[in-house]
Amino acid sequence: MTTTPKSAPRDRLLDAAGGLFYRQGVCTGIDAVCKAAGVSKRSMYQLFSGKDEVLAAALDRQGPAIEAWLLPPRDAPAAARDRVLYVFERLEEYAASPGYCGCPFLSAQIELKDPGHPASVVAGRRKQAVTDFFRAEAERGGAADPGLLARQLTLVFDGASARAGVGAEILDGLTLVTAAALLDAAGLTEGG
């Protein structure tokens, strides 16, 4: 009989926290996180100073996987426009999946309302990575004002993510058309 090794308590806590905070919100208590992780509160407090640190670490842990899934590979040869639209295609795909609750980083920032909270800082850094991606592609594609275009695309991304996350909107091509209109207006046309 083969058994799989049990993951470390820290990993179990971060996995449980990431899932619970995403589905139920950052108001989820540490008791629920510990129970879901199968880790005692005592052990949790030996690993983390408290819930704020657990939340920040859980968000930070999710970041690389989300960015790898959402953003096109760095070495993928494609026009800037296509690379930007790839992000919106992925958003629409994710938003259509069962259990979608919006962008975990945006959700945490909205719920916390404190830009100085450790989890808000992590979430802000992760959100900035997407805006930076948009800006880099806007520059590469020759947009007149790459910073403005990046901010506009981020607004569309965040707005669509939030509305789909609360069930107020089915994206179904909506973000692609909106992002394409912004790209057209900025001069990033087909092949650009």
How do residues 165-184 score in pLDDT, each as one tens digit? 999 999 999 999 999 999 99
The rounded distance, in Å, linking the Cα atoms of 153 and 43 is 42
pLDDT at 2 over 70: no
Q: What is the pLDDT of residue 90?
A: 96
The string of pLDDT tens digits covering residues 43-69 is 999 999 999 999 999 999 999 999 999
- Report the top-level CATH class of 59-185: mainly alpha
Q: What is the mean pLDDT of the chain?
A: 93
How far is CA 181 from its chain centroid? 23
pLDDT at 5 over 90: no
Report domain extents, the chain.
59-185
In the structure, what pLDDT confidence band is assigned to residue 131 with cuts at 50, 70 and 90? very high
pTM comes to 0.90
Q: What is the pLDDT of residue 76?
A: 79
In the structure, what pLDDT confidence band is assigned to residue 1 with cuts at 50, 70 and 90? very low
Q: What is the pLDDT of residue 3?
A: 40
Q: What is the pLDDT of residue 4?
A: 43
**68-75 long-range contacts, Cβ below 8 Å, gap at least 24?**
69/94, 70/94, 70/130, 71/130, 71/133
